[in-house]
Amino acid sequence: AQTVTQSQPEMSVQEAETVTLSCTYDTSENNYYLFWYKQPPSRQMILVIRQEAYKQQNATENRFSVNFQKAAKSFSLKISDSQLGDTAMYFCAFMKAASGTYKYIFGTGTRLKVLA
Amino acid sequence: NAGVMQNPRHLVRRRGQEARLRCSPMKGHSHVYWYRQLPEEGLKFMVYLQKENIIDESGMPKERFSAEFPKEGPSILRIQQVVRGDSAAYFCASSRSEGLTGELFFGEGSRLTVL
């Protein structure tokens, strides 16, 4: 069974600095998707970034980028130039498609606080 | 294109009552997922449905909880005879089947409080 582990329950970073959130996963699959979701205090989950496992190039979205190490089963999120609005819970997620069904597994989350 | 719509946003029930939570997926989405989130905790998978079918209910308690996604209308998560431990935020998410991008779109959640 697939598992997703986020080993950092809480982190903080100074505004404008860079922070990296870690995520590891366990799977025997070769093709899958990985995601980082953000849940701000307003509580609605929104997608931050997505990575297809078959792509070697790391995904980037503006200030957000990932370090995807497939062999190590690692998928860390780097936030550059942190802003106060980045304060949120961040969830790493794994998705595998099989026979028209799609199963998502979420990590337990990392609470990030950006300090002024 | 409206997002995932959940209602009610807040629901208060007394122990022993029933709670019904509704979720309308995004237009064109035929996959619906329900998650539960306890305060200060992560998302716990409950059930995965496609139209008229339960695909995976491995995360849902065997008793008192049920879910459906009928051919017409919203998906419903039903909790019978609620207990205080059912107090949580319940999130619905949906995704497409064709042209899959992999992204789950979440609703704003329904917060259930059991008195």
* Cα dihedral A69, A7, A106, A26 sign: positive
Q: Is the per-residue pLDDT at B103 higher than 90? A: no
Average confidence (pLDDT) over B18-41: 91
Least reliable range by pLDDT among A19-23, A67-71, B36-40, B61-65: B36-40
A95 touches chain B (CB under 8 A): yes
CB-based contacts of B17, cutoff 8 Å, min separation 6: B81, B82
Residue of A nearest to B93 (CA): A45
Q: Do B93 and A93 touch (CB under 8 A)?
A: no
A contacts of B109 (beta carbons < 8 Å): 43-44
User: Which band of pLDDT confidence, cut at 50, 70 and 90, is reported for residue B97?
Assistant: low
CB-based contacts of B59, cutoff 8 Å, min separation 6: B44, B45, B46, B47
Q: What angle do CA A88, A93, A98 make, to 5 degrees?
A: 155
- DSSP run (H or E) holding B67: strand B65-68
Average confidence (pLDDT) over B44-54: 92
Q: What is the pLDDT of residues A14-49, one digit of tens each?
A: 999 999 999 999 998 888 899 999 998 877 889 999
Spatial distance between the Cα atoms of A66 and A69, rounded to a whole number of angstroms: 9
A14 touches chain B (CB under 8 A): no
- The pLDDT of residue B42 is 80
Share of chain B above pLDDT 90, in %: 72
Structure tokens at B89: 């935020």
A18 CA to chain B: closest CA distance, Å?
A: 24
Spatial distance between the Cα atoms of A88 and B76, rounded to a whole number of angstroms: 28
For chain A, the first-to-last Cα distance in angstroms comes to: 41
Q: Which burial class, exposed, middle or buried, applies to A104 when counting CB atoms under 10 A from its CB (0-12, 13-18, 19+)? A: buried
